[in-house]
Amino acid sequence: MAQYGVVVVVAVTLNFLLPRLMPGNPLALIAGVDVGMLTPDQRAEIVARVGLDAPLWQQYLRYWGDIFTGDFGFSFRSSRPIVDMIWERLPWTLLITGLSLLVSAVVGVLLGAISAWRRGTKGDLGMLSGMISIESLPSFWLGMVLVSLFAVQWGLLPSFGAVTPASDLEGWAHVWDIISHAILPVTALSIVGTPGVYMTMRYSMLETLGEDYIRTARAKGAGERRVLFGHVARNTIAPVITVLAIRLGFAFGGTVIIETVFSYPGLGRLVFEAVAGRDYPVMQAAFLVFTAAILVANLAADLLYPLIDPRSRTS
């Protein structure tokens, strides 16, 4: 637990320092493109108003204060409260990253298990090379192909966004609107997310299949099904759970590329724009959310592990 505390302090400090170590100046965001046309006095006034004139250590302490009060102030770019900005985007990000994580977990685990079970067969090798090819697909390209086929060419699904703008839809029509907008991004994310799970599952299972206790189980006459579920699956799933837990943590960070290709209003785009414009407060708050999500996911994996694998239980 103390380890987690240290990690939090280090992460928070980095979140504070990294944006400021980057070259570039947030003034243009605060005062607009015409900032160069202001008098030095006017400029100094603006810098003071957003607190950038304070010594670094004071800004750092203020950031810790923000963390404890949960008030991260206002974005330099949009002048909106940052907490609102994150809350508006987090659900959209979690909708597509969560769904695609689910899809790639189920598909990846199933195919990985089948592949390992039939190791060395044509089916296994075909699936393996298929997955390696898919993994090498750039996600922006995949996204653009999906848009040009399903939206531009066939007109089946919307090409952008999370909902139809200004449509005043309600009830089931609204739900369907959200689903239809999520299908393409979730598909793209699921496709690129599956090979990782598949590989982990396949290798983990291959390792298990080679263990002596599996041979023993077979030797004592246990049926295939009992070997698979009673012995192999239990011992295989632990590393997969770890991979998935960490991915769940990263899911909060959204996905810059897919959110950009589909103009999806998620956190990834928010952070990308904040980094591009040196929007320090937004970067600090968003990085904190990511840090927290990843730490919690790690913690979850740490806690789940002993339940799955008794060997890792401590006294």
Can residue 21 be called a binding residue for other proteins (CB under 8 A)?
Answer: no
The site for other proteins, by CB under 8 A, has a size of 78
Instruction: Name the one range near other proteins by CB under 8 A: 26-34, 61-69, 101-109, 208-216.
Output: 26-34
Can residue 136 be called a binding residue for other proteins (CB under 8 A)?
Answer: no
Alpha carbon 174 to chain centroid distance?
A: 26
Can residue 6 be called a binding residue for other proteins (CB under 8 A)?
Answer: no
- Tokens describing residue 278: 């040196």
Between 59 and 196, name the residue whose CB sits nearer to other proteins.
59
- Identify the residue among 262, 280, 287, 290 touching other proteins (CB under 8 A): 262
Can residue 162 be called a binding residue for other proteins (CB under 8 A)?
Answer: yes
End-to-end CA distance of the chain: 16
Contacts of residue 243, defined as CB under 8 A and 6 or more positions apart, other chains included, come to 196, 197, 200
How far is residue 120's CA from residue 109's CA, in Å, rounded to a whole number? 18
- Identify the residue among 107, 228, 300, 308 touching other proteins (CB under 8 A): 300
Can residue 145 be called a binding residue for other proteins (CB under 8 A)?
Answer: no
Between 34 and 224, name the residue whose CB sits nearer to other proteins.
34
| Interior angle at CA 177, CA 190 and CA 164, nearest 5 | 105
How far is residue 222's CA from residue 210's CA, in Å, rounded to a whole number? 16
Can residue 234 be called a binding residue for other proteins (CB under 8 A)?
Answer: no
Under rule CB under 8 A, which residues in 32-91 are in contact with other proteins?
32-40, 42-43, 45-46, 49, 74, 77-81, 85, 87-91
Place of tokens 């990834």: 268
- Identify the residue among 134, 144, 183, 222 touching other proteins (CB under 8 A): 144
Spatial CA neighbour of 259 closest among 112, 132, 97: 97
Between 195 and 277, name the residue whose CB sits nearer to other proteins.
277
User: What is the nearest approach in angstroms of other proteins to the Cβ of residue 21?
Assistant: 12
Between 191 and 248, name the residue whose CB sits nearer to other proteins.
248
Can residue 96 be called a binding residue for other proteins (CB under 8 A)?
Answer: no
Instruction: Name the one range near other proteins by CB under 8 A: 109-117, 216-224, 233-241, 263-271.
Output: 263-271
User: What is the nearest approach in angstroms of other proteins to the Cβ of residue 16?
Assistant: 18
- Identify the residue among 83, 137, 178, 214 touching other proteins (CB under 8 A): 178
Can residue 5 be called a binding residue for other proteins (CB under 8 A)?
Answer: no
What are the backbone dihedrals phi and psi of residue 279, each rounded to the nearest 5 degrees, phi first?
Answer: -85, 80
- Tokens describing residue 44: 């100094």
Between 74 and 117, name the residue whose CB sits nearer to other proteins.
74
Which helix or strand (DSSP H or E) is residue 23 part of?
none
Spatial CA neighbour of 208 closest among 228, 180, 227, 232: 232
How far is residue 245's CA from residue 26's CA, in Å, rounded to a whole number? 35
How far is residue 170's CA from residue 176's CA, in Å, rounded to a whole number? 10
User: What is the nearest approach in angstroms of other proteins to the Cβ of residue 219?
Assistant: 38
CB atoms within 10 A of CB 71: 13
Under rule CB under 8 A, which residues in 191-220 are in contact with other proteins?
none
Can residue 260 be called a binding residue for other proteins (CB under 8 A)?
Answer: yes
- Three-class DSSP category at 267: helix
User: What is the nearest approach in angstroms of other proteins to the Cβ of residue 41?
Assistant: 9
Task: Dihedral sign for Cα 112, 115, 120, 122, please.
Answer: negative
